[in-house]
Amino acid sequence: MANWLLKTEPDVFSIDDLAAAGKQGEPWNGIRNYQARNFLRDMTPGDRVLIYHSSCAEPGIVGEGEVISAPAPDPDALNPESPYYDPKSSADNNRWSVVQVRYIRHWPGVLSLKTLKAMPELENMALLRQARLSVSPVTDAEWQHLEQR
């Protein structure tokens, strides 16, 4: 079992939207970065995910969800109508993947990026090490530090 962090822009899709989706969850689609996709492909049903709000007033961790499907080809990559359409993908060779994610809970308040940066235990956290990575791994130790915060 592994832990991950998923960035989302709350103006586009927030943790409240994920909560509203209920038990059946929501496809985490539109990942168009190879490194992020490779992490997606390592996901297993039951993995825990932190939900992180980016490009907003207070960027940070807002809650928690769960992976509820195995990785699958992302159908949006094949749909010319989709903003996530990728002309270089085909049914035979879809470059992109998607998993289904469901809401678990909000965390109390926003655990802000500023706070995360101030925690020495998180010095090596992938989120902080690498800007612009929308799917990243979280170690058990990191998760614990965050949860106890």
Partner DNA sequence: GCCAACGTTGGC
* Residues engaged in binding DNA (CB under 7 A): 7, 9, 32-35, 54-56, 59, 88, 113-114, 130-134
Q: Quick one: CA dihedral 96, 14, 16, 129, positive or negative?
A: positive
Cβ 21 to DNA shortest distance, Å: 20
Which residue, 22 or 114, has its beta carbon nearer to DNA?
Answer: 114
Run of H or E including 20 = helix 15-21
Q: Report in angstroms how near the CB of residue 44 gets to DNA at its nearest.
A: 23
CA dist 36 and 108 (Å) reads 27
Closest to DNA by CB, 23 or 88? 88
CA distance 64 to 19: 10
Report residue 29 as tokens: 């689609």
Q: In this complex, which beta carbon is closest to DNA, that of residue 22 or of residue 79?
A: 79
- Give the nearest distance from C-beta 33 to DNA in angstroms: 5
Q: What are phi and psi of 110, to 5 degrees?
A: -100, 125
> At its nearest, how many Å lie between DNA and the CB of residue 68?
23
